[in-house]
Amino acid sequence: MTQEIENTPAIAPFNTLGLHPSVLAAITAVGYEEPSPIQTQSIPLIMAGHDMIGQAQTGTGKTAAFALPILSRIDANRREAQVLVLAPTRELALQVATAFESFAAQMPTVNVVAIYGGAPMGPQLKAIRNGAQVIVATPGRLVDHLSRNGGLLSTIKYLVLDEADEMLKLGFMDDLELIFNAMPDERQTVLFSATLPASIRGIAEKHLRNPQQVKIASKTQTVARIDQAHLMVHADQKVNAILRLLEVEDFDAMIGFVRTKQATLDIAAALEAKGYKVAALNGDIAQNQRERVIDSLKDGRLNIVIATDVAARGLDVPRITHVFNIDMPYDPESYVHRIGRTGRAGRDGRALLLVTPRERRMLQVIERVTGQKVAEILLPDAKVILQARIRRLTQDLAPRVKDKENKNVELLAHLTTELNCSAEDLALALLAKTTEGQAFTLDGVEREQPVLAPRGRDNRDRDDRGGRGRDDRGGRGRDDRGERGEGGRERRAPLALSEGKVRCRTALGVRDGVAARNLLGAILNEGGLSRDAIGRIQIRESFSLVELPEEGLESLLSKLKDTRVAGKALKLRRYRED
C-alpha cells in the first residue's frame, strides 16, 4: 500500500536528519544552507530504509534528496557496487554523478562512475572492476555492460530511478525489466518522477515494497527585475570571455561566482592584472579580512569580488549591479540565490552566466524553474570593445572638461612652454599616458583579443561526446573508441612538422585548463625566444604538442625545466613518434 506524505512547510536543518558527518561536511562545502522541501521529507524516509516514490519537478533539489541519505548508509569500505542510479539521458547521468562526487568529497574511499552511451567502454569497465560503489547509468549502456558481465548488479543495495517518466517516454521499458531482474530482490528502491502515469504506478506496484509517496508542488521562482543572459563557452575560454564581457558591461559593482577556492584566486589575479579593483573571497579567508573586502566593495575601493557560494553567505551590498556566474551553480535554487544579490531596493540588475557544452541541460532546468528565458549573447567583437573604451574615456573626461574651476591653467602654460609644444600636442601626450596599456584603434584591439574556438555544432559535439558508440536508445553507431585507443588515450595523428622544428610534448592539456596562449606565453617568457621561433601548438584533452627550433633544443628545454603553467609543471620533452 502506498502511503502519501503531505507537503509540509516545516524545514529541519540538515544536521537533524541523521546524515553521516562526512556528508554533512560536504554539504557545507558546496554551500547548501538548509534542505529544500523534497529533501526535508525524503531524507528521513530513505534513511529509515523505506522504498519511496517522489513526485517532484527537476530543479527542486531531488538529487540531493536521494544522494545524501544513500551516501550516509553505504559501506564505504566495501569495494563493490552498492548504489545504482538510472537516468534517461547522458547529460542527467553526468549531472547526477557530479553531484554524488561533490557530496562524497569527504569520503575518500567512495568512488562514482558514470556509464552512458557515446563514451569509451574501457574506462567504465575499469572503474567497475576497481570497485566503484556508486554507478550512475543510462539504461541502454547499462544493458550493454550486463551482456558482458551478468553479475554486475548482484551486490546492489540501493536503486534510484531518476526522471522515471522520461525513461519510459524514451522507450527504455524493456531495458528496465532486464536491469530489475539482474539485481537482488532485497534492495531499497526509490523512484522520482515529475508525473505519475499508469505505467509508472505499474512499475511501483511490481518492483517497490510498500512505498511511501512524497509529492512536492512546483513553485515558479521569479527574478523579474534582473536581466539575465548566458554565453556558451568552452572551459578553457572562460577567463578571456570574462575579460571581453567586462569591457562592454556597464557595471557599478559585481560579484562573480565560482565553485572552488583556487578559482577565486586565479580569476581575481587575472582581472587584477588587467587593472580591475578586485578581490577573492573564499573559505580560507579570515573573518576580519572578509569584512574588509565587503567594506571595500561597499565604499567603492573594490568593484569586483570573486567568491564561492559558501564565502558569499550573507553578502548584501546595495551597489552590486551585476552577478557573474562564472561556474554553473549546482542547482536552480543556488542560481536564484546568487542572482538575487542584485536588483535590490527597486533597482534593475543584470546576471551573466557562462555555460559549457555539458551544462546546456542545467540551463534549460534553470529556465524552467524560474519561468524566465535566459537570453543567449555572443562575445563582443573588437569594434564593440573599442566603442566601449571610447565611451568610458569620454564619460571620465566629460566632467573635467566642463569644470570651470579648473586650477591647472598655469600648469598648462608652463608645460607647453617647457616642452615647446602646442596644447593639442600636450593633450595627445596626456591621452597616451591615460590610455597606456589599452589599444584605442580597431587594429590594436583586434591584436589584443585571443581567437576563441567558434561555438558551432562541431565544437559542441566534440566537447560533449568523444565518440559515438551505442547510444542511449540502443542504436549502433561508430566504434565507441572514436579517435581514442584502449583506455581512452587519444590517437589523433599530429599535423605535419614545420621546417626546422622539432615536436615536444607536455602532459598538460584541456583538462588542466591549459590553452595555446598559456603555453606560448610561458615559452616566450622563460625561453627567451621570439614569436616566430615557435611553430604550431596543438592542445589535446590530456596533453599538448609544441613545435620548437631543433637548433639549441636541449639548452631551451633546460631553461624551461622549472616553468609552471596553470599552476602545474610544464615538463616539455622531445616527442618521438612511433
Place 352 in a pLDDT band, splitting at 50, 70 and 90. Answer: very high
Q: What is the pLDDT of residue 176?
A: 92
Helix (H) or strand (E) holding 102: helix 90-103
Most confident segment among 164-168, 179-183, 257-261, 524-528: 179-183
**Model confidence band, residue 566 (pLDDT cutoffs 50, 70, 90):** confident
CA–CA separation, 478 vs 460, rounded Å?
Answer: 18
Helix then strand count (H, E) for the chain reads 21, 21
Question: Would you call 460 helix, strand, or coil by DSSP?
Answer: helix
Burial per residue of 446-464, b for 16 or more beta-carbon CB atoms within 10 angstroms, e otherwise:
eeebeeeeebeeeebeebe
Domains defined along the chain, listed by start: 3-215 (3.40.50.300), 226-376 (3.40.50.300), 403-433 (no CATH), 491-578 (3.30.70.330)
Task: Find the mean pLDDT for residues 201-227.
Answer: 79
Between the CA of residue 158 and those of 69, 120, 173, what are the distances in Å?
11, 26, 20
Beta-strand relationship, 375-376 and 568-569: unpaired
**Which pLDDT belongs to residue 452?**
52
Give the tens place of pLDDT for each residue, 29-86: 777 778 888 899 999 999 999 999 998 766 667 889 999 999 999 999 999 999 999 9
User: Across all residues in the chain, what is the average pLDDT?
Assistant: 81
What average pLDDT does this structure show over 16-22? 92
pLDDT tier at 482, thresholds 50, 70, 90: very low
Q: Give the pLDDT mean for 151-179.
A: 90
**Cβ-based neighbours of 536, under 8 Å, separated by 6 or more:** 495, 498, 545, 546, 547
Rounded CA separation 153/142 (Å): 10
Q: How many whole angstroms from its chain centre is CA 18?
A: 30
Note the pLDDT of residue 376. Answer: 92
User: So what's the pLDDT on residue 428?
Assistant: 84
Residue 468 vs residue 114, higher pLDDT:
114
pLDDT at residue 230 in the model: 95
Residues 6+ apart with CB under 8 A from 574: 502, 503, 504, 505, 553, 557
What dihedral do alpha carbons 569, 572, 576, 577 form, nearest 10°? 70
As a whole number of angstroms, the distance between CA 160 and CA 52 comes to: 10
Say which range, 395-404, 465-474, 496-505, has the weakest mean pLDDT.
465-474
| The total number of residues written for the chain in this structure | 578
Enter the C-alpha cell of residue 564: 609552471
Average pLDDT of the residues in 175-191: 94
In whole angstroms, give the CA distance from residue 384 to residue 245. 10
d(CA 53, CA 56): 10
Cα(546)–Cα(520) distance, rounded to whole angstroms? 9
Distance of CA 324 to the CA centre of its chain: 13
CA 295/CA 12 separation, integer angstroms: 33
Answer yes or no: pTM beyond 0.75: no
What pLDDT shows up at residue 57? 67
Where does 358-515 have alpha helices with state H? 360-370, 382-402, 409-418, 423-434, 442-448, 457-464
Average pLDDT over residues 169-183: 89
